[in-house]
Amino acid sequence: MSPVFNFSAGPAVLPREVLLEVQQELLDWHGSGMSVMEMSHRGKEFMQIAAEAEEDLRSVLGIPKHYKVLFLQGGATTQFAMVPMNLVRGRTSIDFVDTGHWSKLAVKEARKYCANTRLVTSSEASGYRDIPAFESWERDPNAAYLHYTSNETLGGVEFPYIPDSGDVPLVCDMSSNFLSRPVDISKFGLIYGGAQKNIGPAGLTLVIVREDLLGQTVPGTPTMMDYKIQADGDSMYNTPPTFAIYVAGLVFKWIQRQGGLKAIEQRNIEKAALLYETVDTSGGFYISPVEKAFRSRMNVPFRLADPALDEAFIKEAAARNLLQIKGHRSTGGMRASIYNAMPLEGVKALTGFMQEFARSHG
Ligand SMILES: *Cc1c(COP(=O)(O)O)cnc(C)c1O
């Protein structure tokens, strides 16, 4: 069978090397005679797996000591509620940057815990094609925190910088570009993301949070949703998603073997450049809806100028093992997600096909 290239937005492609390791260790992890799936989360084997996963993530991202790393469940969507429950801390407003689908959902959920959710800026009027200049944002210096989405997975809009929120804690939904480039963790109060885009299997949610923000939850916060309790219990207050943590740990080691986040970023830049260039030089056959400065390196939406060809495009792509490139149902068109684990050869196979399709249908 010739290789399949999977452009799904999530759950998404994982490094082949990692999947092979998982396969090899599936029945007998390191001579334990057990599968990781069968291990007690409090046994010495799994404790070692979890500790190494955290250690490796800390080293890959350069996470300072005064930040906690939590391995939780519930996806990024659960964080839309957990973040305000934990971080409102008696303040009366939260600042939000609205750059599309996911930031909108985060605002909607936060409103249940804080009546005054302010939009400091929104690109809705322009159809979420860009990000309004930072200088134009109307921020509240007393806000509980400033929330933004570093990469809008649906719209393909990515921040090329980290906003400077001053003394207001900066909170970021990094679900779809987590570990795609180096980031200065010290600029953030909290970062969260579902694992299934760029980290590992679905079922695991990562949170990195500055210690001093913990311990002031809103009344009625469920035990499982209290970051402080999760941090004090090393994310094992109850049974954690053990197998997903194990696979994520292997992905962190894979990133280290690739040369770390700097090397990963270089590859991501190269892959995205090739794909956008193919769109831009297609003579209008393919169209990118996003302003150049904010084009995502991870999720590349594009349309065919003639939508009547959409079906043929998807069908012919699938016949060449180029899978899951249909755009989100709300946007139509195509979307190629090219996360860390998508090799350059996959992007080359896609762009080669796109050029050929344009020639034969143009
Ligand atoms: C996928 C995604 C989510 C939702 O993640 P779940 O884990 O399904 O809850 C939230 N934000 C962003 C940016 C995403 O890409």
Q: What is the DSSP string of 196-258?
A: TTTTSSTT-EEEEEEGGG-S-PPTT--GGG-HHHHHHTTT-SS---HHHHHHHHHHHHHHHHH
Going residue by residue through the chain, which has 362 residues, state the pLDDT in tens, using 9 for 90 and above. 678 999 999 999 999 999 999 999 999 999 999 999 999 999 999 999 999 999 999 999 999 999 999 999 999 999 999 999 999 999 999 999 999 999 999 999 999 999 999 999 999 999 999 999 999 999 999 999 999 999 999 999 999 999 999 999 999 999 999 999 999 999 999 999 999 999 999 999 999 999 999 999 999 999 999 999 999 999 999 999 999 999 999 999 999 999 999 999 999 999 999 999 999 999 999 999 999 999 999 999 999 999 999 999 999 999 999 999 999 888 889 999 999 999 999 999 999 999 999 999 98
Q: Note whether 274 and 268 are within 8 A (CB).
A: no
Expressed in angstroms and rounded, the spacing between residue 195 Cα and the centre of ligand 1 is 9
- In testing the pocket of ligand 1, which one of 176, 178, 192, 207 has its CB within 8 Å of the most ligand atoms? 176
pLDDT of residue 331: 82
Own/partner pairs for 61-66, CB < 8 Å, 24+ apart?
A: 61/179, 61/182, 61/183, 61/185, 61/208, 61/261, 62/182, 62/185, 63/185, 63/208, 64/185, 64/186, 66/210, 66/211, 66/212
Round to whole Å and give the CA distance between 185 and 207.
Answer: 12
For 253, the token pair is 């080691």
For ligand 1, atom 5: residue with the closest CA: 76
Q: Which of 56, 95, 98, 173 is catalytic?
A: 173
Mutation probe of ligand 1 site: the residue of 73, 102, 148, 157 with most atoms within 8 A of C-beta: 102
> Given this model, what pLDDT does residue 14 score?
98
Dihedrals phi, psi of 28, to nearest 5 degrees? -150, 95
Radius of gyration of the chain (CA): 21
Pocket of ligand 1 (CB under 6 A): 10, 75-77, 102, 149, 153, 173, 175-176, 194, 197
Predicted confidence at residue 1, as pLDDT, reads 64
173 a catalytic residue = yes
Q: Residue 201: its pLDDT value, please?
A: 97
User: Ligand 1 atom closest to Cα of 10?
Assistant: 1
Tokens representing 153 are 């997975």
- CA–CA separation, 162 and 160 (whole Å): 7
Q: 90: burial class by Cβ within 10 Å (0-12, 13-18, 19+)?
A: exposed
- Closest residue by Cα to atom 14, ligand 1, is 175
234 carries an active-site annotation: no
Q: Answer for the pair 326, 334: CB distance below 8 angstroms, yes or no.
A: yes
Lookup: tokens for 221:
């916060």
Strand-pairing partners, residue 336, are: 300
What residues pair up with 301 in beta bridges, in sequence order?
335
Angle formed by the axes of helices 101-110 and 75-87, to 10°? 40
pLDDT for residue 2: 73
Ligand 1: nearest atom to the Cα of 75: 7
What's the pLDDT score for residue 3? 86
**265 Cα: distance to centroid of ligand 1 (angstroms):** 21
102 in catalytic set? yes
- Has this prediction a pTM greater than 0.75? yes
Cβ distance 167 to 139 under 8 Å?
no
User: How many whole angstroms from 171 Cα to the centroid of ligand 1?
Assistant: 15
**CA of 205, closest atom in ligand 1:** 7
Chain center to CA of 17: 21
Distance from Cα 192 to the centre of ligand 1, integer Å = 10
CA 228 from chain centre, in angstroms, equals 23
Interval between CA 103 and ligand 1 midpoint (Å)? 10
Q: How far is the CA of 175 from the centre of ligand 1 (A)?
A: 6
Task: Point out the catalytic residue in the list 29, 68, 98, 197.
Answer: 197
DSSP symbol at 326:
B
* 240 Cα: distance to centroid of ligand 1 (angstroms): 19
CA atoms within 13 A on the CB side of 118: 16
Active-site residue, selected from the candidate residues 98, 102, 104, 226: 102
- Residue in 9, 15, 4, 42 with CA at minimum distance from that of residue 248: 15
Phi, psi of 323 (to 5 degrees): -110, 155
Contact partners, residue 124, CB within 8 Å, separation at least 6: 98
What domains are there in the chain, each with its CATH number?
Answer: 16-257 (3.40.640.10), 260-361 (3.90.1150.10)
Q: Which of 71, 77, 97, 148 to mutate to test the pocket of ligand 1 (most atoms within 8 A of CB)?
A: 77
Task: Write the Ramachandran bin of 130: left for phi over 0, alpha for psi from -120 to 50, otherwise beta.
Answer: beta
Of all protein residues, the one whose alpha carbon is nearest to atom 12 of ligand 1 is 175
